[in-house]
Chain A
């Protein structure tokens, strides 16, 4: 028996079926094909799977599908595209802020949420906002610089 749930993803209304205990990540990556959401640990410990739920970062790997019902979900695909990039994405490329890049999906989501409540974060504030996000390659300092660069761009300052 499968129940259905409706919510919006990246501004688009969707209705999806729960196959029997699905987490949000399963339908995002599966039925909806939004593979920019990355699976990392399945235990809310690495941040790879972050999405915005009504603007707040949540780990989609453990979130029961029903919790998204009636709400607004933003995935990494919803931040920006190659044609219309978000200043964060431009800044990450400008700073070469990544090595393998797998963790960046979740980090971009966390950074977007941070910049919406703090337009001029310090290195320490960024590190704290990304505390739940693991990066194994050691691109941390570049990532912090990229978030600061994006903050400057969003404030209308030059990079």
Chain B
């Protein structure tokens, strides 16, 4: 034992055979707890393993997200996969290579230093030998714990890392396959779940005969308390049965919906748990404030809006439950399902299968729970649950609305010498298992509903905060006093959505910085650089200004706007600076976006650029168009007409540059672009108008109101 420090995920899953195995036909099995969500992570993890094992990436087959099989690595979330799983895989693969080199040296009776590995084959002083991983594998037991301490490949020797390897999963998808939605196990039955119209509503009556007549086929109805579903061998029949069930169900009670509940400022009227944090001063500033500046920024509730509805499949044979899901955390889902069904977790296996793009805690876990409950009620049959579009947009968890109040005390030059922030938000962490609760939608409707989480909590500091994510600005500021108002019972079920609180907080902070700059009569870029000592932050700002030719920015109020913004995601992942160019008449036309990113070592540059581009476009959609609105009957946005997102003709051109050093450790990029893009757009709109819109989305109504002010 070398006693070396192992990467966290390897320390928690030290058995090497969980990570790496050698299979017949010259194949390598790579196990990871991280799952493909459309972000290309499996391709990047294959590159890391291939690099350290010194094999061609084509040899590597990935097994991902299967309880009891792959390493337990928590949720695939928080832009953590490359940093966490990547570090573990790199160390594990390097150690496996070292173990095999030692074995080969014994067999060849030579020094280890005389050996090198070339696509899995061992060379002695550069000459071929009869040995490769697969020849040695029967004599090497990888059912052993990692010791660490093996020297990793130096960046200048990388042959696979740093290359834009094409996505491994994309070809299948271009030919129309590869999704959980397409799985059709033998004897499958299609199910649709009747969702409650209000939280806590009671299903008084359901006319099952009427459902059967309307569906025109064989239909079963399963009821467990206020949880009800229709099942049919044909999918069309199941769909019609659900439509009929929605017409023929009688509900009573439950929480009442009220118009206006979805306004972000409604949060201010609700019970909240308060916590004050002081982020240490980053600059030696002080003195008497001569002026105060304060502003309120908001963002609305946001829907995940995946293009596919959530799906879950499950099979119960009376002893074991098998669940197929596109969840971000199979281990946590298994634990929650075990509690709901009263089963031993060992009797449940949960396997990840790829779904459509996942941007956080969407309906995947809930759909898997729906399927598990129904399979448990119908032993011996595979049950496939698919949600409706309306469920996807209204019953899945949402990203919380936020109100951010900022106040600065300014010195005679307009520079902040006091800093206060108040963040009002629902929780950003209510996944299965969070806060000791199962957090599964169906479980709330069962005859003995799962207890509500108590107390409600947010994502902790160790995971990068929820509502306070990126609440601390990285500028040279005095002590930042931040009060977190965690709203305990917002009207909607809130949980983790790409960036968590960072989208609202960076929008607020970087808008506020621009407003301070404007009040001081300074250029927004110059203003930021004058208050930013962080060299890596300065570099992305300077680089994005070059890319966009910031110097051509016209005077404000012309209808054409240029905005800039910066953040380091979670204050510990990638540094990102963004410039946005807009034309504003009655509404905003986002024309072009430039992005400079320092993510340290980038495993797959094109894959990383794809993530940043996608983050920019998604943030543009959130910032310009999206809000979950509540009316007297519930959530209004039940379809894409009433919850519009950005469409092709509205999409800006996006340019991305990575400016980090390969010698720096990789930093997460999946969520890095969202906050600064929102703020750059907000700042560009303010520049174009000569008036600021402080609430997202930046709709025509808000623009007209700002112009009238």
Contact = CB atoms under 8 A, between A and B. Distances in A.
Partners in one complex: yes
Interface of A: 19-23, 26-27, 29-30, 33, 35-43, 45-46, 48, 75-77, 80-82, 85, 89, 92-93, 96, 98-105, 108, 124, 126-128, 130-131, 133-142, 144
Interface string B132-176: 000000000000000000000000000000001011011101111
B491 interface: no
Q: Chain B CB within 10 Å — which of A22, A41, A43, A75 has the most?
A: A41
Interface in B576-632: 606-607, 610-611, 613-618
B202 to A, nearest CB: 28
Interface string B337-360: 000000000000000001111110
A127 B649 contact: yes
B530 interface: no
Contacts of B357: 99-100, 102, 136-137
Contact of B648 (A96, A105, A131): A131
Contacts of B167: 96, 98
A75 B176 CA distance: 9
Contacts of A92: 170, 174
A75 B215 CA distance: 26
Given A30-B234, A133-B648, A138-B613, A43 B639 contact: yes
A36 B174 CA distance: 9
Interface residues of B, number: 63
Given A39-B308, A39-B386, A98 B640 contact: no
A101 B307 CA distance: 10
Contact of B617 (A19, A36, A127, A138): A138
B488 interface: no
A137 B614 contact: yes
30 contacts: A27-B236, A30-B235, A35-B181, A36-B175, A37-B176, A39-B309, A42-B239, A43-B389, A43-B639, A45-B639, A48-B308, A85-B175, A93-B170, A96-B170, A96-B610, A99-B614, A100-B173, A100-B354, A100-B358, A102-B356, A127-B651, A134-B640, A134-B645, A136-B305, A136-B618, A137-B357, A138-B613, A138-B617, A141-B654, A142-B610
Contacts of A27: 236
B442 to A, nearest CB: 21
Contact of A26 (B176, B234, B306, B388): B234
Interface of B: 37-40, 164, 166-167, 169-171, 173-179, 181-182, 184, 215-217, 234-237, 239-240, 305-309, 354-359, 386, 388-389, 606-607, 610-611, 613-618, 639-641, 645, 647-649, 651, 653-654
Given A41-B640, A46-B307, A133-B648, A138 B174 contact: no
The 5 closest A-B pairs by CB, nearest first: A36-B176, A20-B216, A100-B38, A101-B173, A138-B617
A43 B639 CA distance: 8
A105 B616 contact: no
Contact of A98 (B170, B179, B641): B170
A99 B236 contact: no
Nearest to A94: B166
A140 B307 contact: no
B646 to A, nearest CB: 8
B236 A23 contact: yes
A107 to B, nearest CB: 9
Contacts of B354: 100
A27 B388 CA distance: 18
A125 to B, nearest CB: 10
B38 A137 contact: yes
Contact of A142 (B309, B386, B613): B613
B236 A30 contact: yes
A98 B174 contact: yes
Nearest to B614: A138
A36 to B, nearest CB: 2
Contacts of B40: 99
B641 to A, nearest CB: 6
Given A26-B234, A138-B615, A141-B653, A108 B389 contact: no
Contacts of A133: 648
A41 B336 CA distance: 29
Contacts of B181: 35, 38-39
Nearest to A106: B307
> Could you say which of A100, A104, A137, A141 has the most chain B C-beta atoms within 10 Å of its C-beta?
A100
Contacts of A89: 174-175
Contacts of A43: 389, 639-641
Contacts of A77: 175-176
B703 to A, nearest CB: 23
A128 B649 contact: yes
B179 A76 contact: no
Contacts of A30: 234-236
B308 A38 contact: yes
A127 B308 contact: no
Given A101-B38, A141-B651, A41 B610 contact: no
A140 B649 CA distance: 10
B510 to A, nearest CB: 20
A140 B648 contact: yes
A133 B649 CA distance: 11
B237 A19 contact: yes
Contacts of A81: 175
A104 B640 contact: no
Given A46-B307, A99-B40, A141-B654, 6 more contacts: A20-B237, A35-B181, A102-B355, A103-B307, A136-B307, A136-B618
A91 B10 CA distance: 39
Contacts of A99: 38-40, 357, 610-611, 614
